[in-house]
Amino acid sequence: MQRQIPVCGREQAIHGKVLIIKERYQLRGLKMKRIFGTFLICLILIFILFPITANADMGPKPSINITFENMGDEICYGTLLGESGTGPYSPWDGDKAHIQNYCNLDMDIWEAFAYYQDSDGYYFFQEAWLCSDSKRLC
């Protein structure tokens, strides 16, 4: 035979369990808040102590503007020669597989610049422009 608990006793028993469970969750919540707060403070301190800096390349750059005067109506190409270079603007090594930047020139004209031998040791950097239309090297 089962013993029946009066209704008010059940409510008290359930109410006691709910309070215990509620207290446990409140303690867990407080611990999580403390952990999150500590993490947030550490993160802020890291950003203050070790700032992230951005280095930008600003300011005027060296440039040159060349304008041809007293030119007739003949076709004229121009380039700039240099002693050494890096990246896409570098002297041609003689291998036809490594030819760059000739899309705006005929191959014969590009080769005339590439095979040019300068007495001062300057090289063609694989870039040239048609100058007869604008009278400028750009």
Phi/psi for 128 (5° steps) reads -150, 160
Same domain for 71 and 46: no
Convert the pLDDT of each residue in 68-125 to its tens digit: 888 888 888 888 888 877 666 777 777 777 776 666 778 888 888 888 888 888 888 8
- Parent domain of 20: 1-53
pLDDT range class, residue 15, cuts 50, 70, 90 = low
d(CA 99, CA 111): 10
In Å, how far are 106, 111, 123 from 83, measured between CA atoms? Answer: 24, 19, 6
SS3 (DSSP) at 113: helix
Dist. CA 23–CA 20, nearest whole Å: 5
Give the pLDDT confidence of 16-51 residue by residue, as tens digits. 555 566 666 666 777 888 889 999 999 998 888 887
Residue 60 forms part of a structural domain: no
How many residues are listed for the chain in this entry? 138
Say how many domains are in the chain: 2
